[in-house]
Every structure is written in structure tokens, then in C-alpha cells.
Amino acid sequence: MLGVVRAVSLARMSLRLSSPAFAVWAAACVDSLGAARAEIDALNVFPVPDSDTGTNVYLTFVAARDAVHALPKDATLEHTIKAFVDGALLGAKGNSGVIMSQLLRASFRSLLGRELVEAEDVAYAFDVATQAAYAAVGDPKEGTILSVARAAADGAKGAADAGKDARGAFAAAAAASRIALQRTPQQMERLARAGVVDAGGRALVVVIDTTERYFTGRLEIDAPKPARTIPVPMPAVGEDLLADGPAYEVMYLLNAPEETIAPLRATLASLGDSLVVVGGDGLWNVHVHVDNVGAAIEAGIAAGHPYRIAVTHFADQAAQQLELSGRAVVVATTGAGLSKLCTESGAHVLEFDRDHQLGVEQMASAVRATGASEVIVLPNNPRYVPLFEAAAKDLRREGMRIAIIPSHAQVQGLAALAVHDAGRPFDDDVVAMSSAAAHVQHGAITVAAEAAMTMAGPCQAGDTLGVVAGDFAIVGADPVAVAIEVLDRLVSSSSEMVTLVVGAQATDGLPGQLERHLRVNRPDVDAVIYQGDQENYPLFIAVE
């Protein structure tokens, strides 16, 4: 929860804070939370299973980042930190977003006036942030974001006490938070029943992992794999869970003197649960679950001036989610590994290979078989795009709502599927998935079956062919050399992540050699490797 670039001292590494670097860190957290948003939403069963924790924390950080971006370029570090924590407070959404805003506010306030941060400062910032978060929650529960925050604080303190530098303290905090997250189902029965870790704790781990990498400069090693890859299936919204607590969520901002907050907490605690009040200096963010909405708002009026009041009826929210669950994604895949990846992410898979091609009727049957009223299709092959479009014409006459995303490669489909969110409006979901697919630079290697003339020149049977954006661009004898050349053509100065999908005919060590090539030449680019088992193509490559 600290910001961002490194400064190396001869004895121990100190961390140097600066306004521009802080802005970079804020943007990095938004990107990481955006990538993990669907996964975190799917984990959300506590305090109510409303599947919005990832979205709420993401929007909280967006508000904080935007407040920083609105500052003049010459803003001081103190002004930047104040804008960030105030932006988080004003823009906090939901239970976890409000708690996260308090963690940020307390940790950064402990660092005001410091440009060089030592391990002891890191440990102290985590500790005061955790204490503030526990104090803000009316009835703290273990197995939540609070437990993860406490573990991170203990990890940082242990590293500082052992003489580690600031980088070591952050690494220890990040490692401890990941372990604590895996423990949350043992601490809360509801999580254990649903088979998930705590959503708020997962969001905090994403932030700490991102901070540890950007604050210490550890971009080339030990970087966590992007959480966006394959979302976790969403737990069912059960009536028993909805019946466990009050019917409404009430949130509002409050202008009030500090002496009125303790009586406000007491009043709201008597009305419901999931109470969180955060803030200071006359500005507060109030969150509570109640049955009596009017009484919760009147308590705010008695304390000061409530505004931006938001009320959510959980039953209506659950009904909307069930209604939106009538959306399905159909994916054309080749290879058992790719099919498994897509199935695990909740998609309906339509498999094909060289000997078993897809036809219009088969496509239409697969879409009908989903039983959904809204369907998004990822053809993942240029030949299949017009065929799916033809199938969709008849299905639309039957009342189905269908969007065909013109994905031409399997890796484009993976990127689109990773950002799929059934909780969004249909059109927004289609736009997000289309954008993800379109921004993927894709390539592959294959083996020539016979002598032929390609766009890259003549080839002989057995030659390795490099494919870039669907065209044969390289002819060579060594699969590794050809794959590296394909990769180098795809990677640009703005690239952030490479995905390698390994085929059934890949030579041993091929993906590892590409990963090592990246580590040496582009240590700022993350690499993710999947076993796709596709025939004919030993390797699919995607660059984002």
C-alpha cells in the first residue's frame, strides 16, 4: 500500500517516494485490479453474495487514481498522497472498498514527510493501517480482508526485526498476505462451504503484490501470474445466504465533527451489521447493512450532513444477477488443453480439428444447447466467423440475442474470455471482449507438410514456418529460432504480457527457451504458459 520507485543505498536498500512514481503505482494497481476484477467478484460470498467485491475495490482505486491525475504536473508528494487517499475515501464502493480506503489512508498518512522509506517504516505503515481498519469495522471478523492485512503487517515487522531492508519487508508482507488468504476458508465457515477464499482478502493481495513489484522494481522475477487469465466460476447465489442478514446496504458520505462519530457507530450497530465508518478531518464514508433504511439515514442526519446516499436492496440485486445468468459464451477450440481452459472458465466449448471441421448447423445447435437468451460467440478462426454469422441470423429470429466477436486466433479467444463479465450489460460485455481480442498481437509456429511457396519465400516439407498475424512470415529449420523471431516481431515497447500456448507436437523445452529469451531481453514483460495440446501448431503466441 505504499508507492513506488526504488533507490539503492550501499548498505540497505531504501525506497524513495516521489509524486510521478506514485502516479505510476496508482495506475498499476488499477490495471491489476481491473485484470482480477471478474475473478474477485466470483469469490464474493461474504458478507453477502452480491458478486461485486472486485468491482467495488477496482472502482475505489479508479477514483483515487483519477484524483491524482487531476493534479497539476508539479504537485508535491504530500499533495499527491492527500489527493489519492481523499479520492479513495470519496469514491469507495461497498464494504471492501470502504475498508480498503481506510487501509490506504492510514498507511500513507504514516509516511507523510518521508522521501526515503526503510523497513521499519514499511512495517509501521502496515501496522497502523491494519489497526485503523479493525477500528473502522463495527464487528471485525477473521477470515476477511482484515486477517490478510494483519498477516501482511506481521510479515513486514518480522522482516524489519530480522534486519531486512525495505525491499525485504515488502516481500515478506506480500508472502504473508498470500498465505493468510489461503487460510481464510479455515477461519470462516461460509467461505469453506462455498469453496472459495475471501474476496476482499484476494483484492488486498492483488494490491500488495502489485506494490511489492513496482515499489521495489522486481518486475523481472517472482512476478505473480496475472489473475485475469481464467476466472473462477461464480458461486450460486443461495437464498440461505441472502437470508442471513439485513435486506439493504446503505452508504453515504458524511460531513460531521469527530465527536459525533462514536454515537453514530453505536446507533448504526444497533440497527444492523457490516458496519464500517472510515475517514477523518470532518469527512467520513459510512457503510452498513440494515432493514430500516430510514433509521440509518436519520442517524447520519443526527451526526452531521449526509450526502451521496446510496441504497441497495439485496434481493433485487440477486434477482438481477440470476436474470443476467442467462448469458453464455460459446468458444470454438482446437486441442484438449485449450478446451479444458475454456470449459473451466464457464464457456461452452465447440471442438474442431483438421479432420473434424465445424458447419453452420453444428454451430447453431451448440448455441441453442446453451439454453441462454444471450450468447457471445468466439469463433477463433477466420473461416468460422462468417459461418457463425450465418447461424446467428436464424437464431436471432428465434428471439436469441447473439454477438459474434471476430476472433481469428485461439489466443484472441482466451484474452476475450478472460474479461467476460456476466454482471455487465450485454453490450458492455461484448465491447470489453471485442477490445481484448482486438488488442492481442498473435502468432504461431507450424511445420510445412510439403514444398510450397509462402509469403516469406519457398519452403520444403519439414521446415518450420513462423506465422505473424495470420500470415506466413518466416521460414527456418530450427523451431526455437523461428519462434523467437515471431516473438520479437510481436513484442513492442508497450507490451506487458506474453502468453504461450504449447501444442501437442512442441519440442521439449520450447516454451522455457522463449521465456528465458524474454527474461534476458524484455524483463519488464510477464510470461504465462498454458498446455493447449493443439495439433499442427507446436506453439501459439499472444502479446498484450
> Residue-wise over 359-389: b if at least 16 C-beta within 10 A, else e?
ebeebbebbeebebebbbbbbbbeebbebbb
Which CATH code, of 3.40.50.1820, 3.40.50.510, 3.20.20.70, 3.40.50.1370, is assigned to 326-438? 3.40.50.510
pLDDT for the residue 1:
46
Q: Give tens-digit pLDDT for 351-398.
A: 988 888 888 888 888 898 888 888 999 999 988 988 898 888 888 877
**Fold match flag (326-438 vs 441-543):** no
C-alpha cell at 94: 461497498
Statement: residue 48 has pLDDT above 70? no
pLDDT for the residue 265:
87
Q: Residue 357: left (phi > 0), alpha (psi -120 to 50), or beta?
A: beta
The Cα–Cα gap between 355 and 417 comes to 26
Domain boundaries in the chain?
5-218, 246-319, 326-438, 441-543
The Cα–Cα gap between 201 and 520 comes to 34
Give whole-number Cα distances, 328 to 376, 422, 432, in Å.
Answer: 6, 8, 15
pLDDT average, residue stretch 277-304: 87
Q: What are the two backbone dihedrals, phi and then psi, of residue 188, each rounded to the nearest 5 degrees?
A: -140, 120
Rounded to two decimals, the pTM is: 0.56
Query: Going edge to edge, which strands form the sheet with 526-531?
Result: 471-476, 464-468, 441-447, 539-543, 497-502, 526-531
pLDDT average, residue stretch 58-63: 88
Q: What are the two backbone dihedrals, phi and then psi, of residue 392, each rounded to the nearest 5 degrees?
A: -65, -30
Of 119-128, 202-211, 393-402, 490-499, minimum mean pLDDT range: 393-402
Element (H, E) at 443: strand 441-447
Is the CATH number of domain 246-319 1.10.8.100? no
CATH code at 441-543: 3.30.1180
Q: How far apart are the first and last CA of the chain?
A: 26
pLDDT for the residue 218:
53
- Taking a C-beta distance cutoff of 8 angstroms, is the pair 225, 213 a contact? no
The Cα–Cα gap between 477 and 463 comes to 5
Statement: residue 98 has pLDDT above 70? yes
CATH code at 5-218: 1.25.40.340
Statement: residue 160 has pLDDT above 70? yes
Q: Give tens-digit pLDDT for 393-441.
A: 888 877 788 999 999 999 999 999 888 887 778 888 888 899 889 889 9
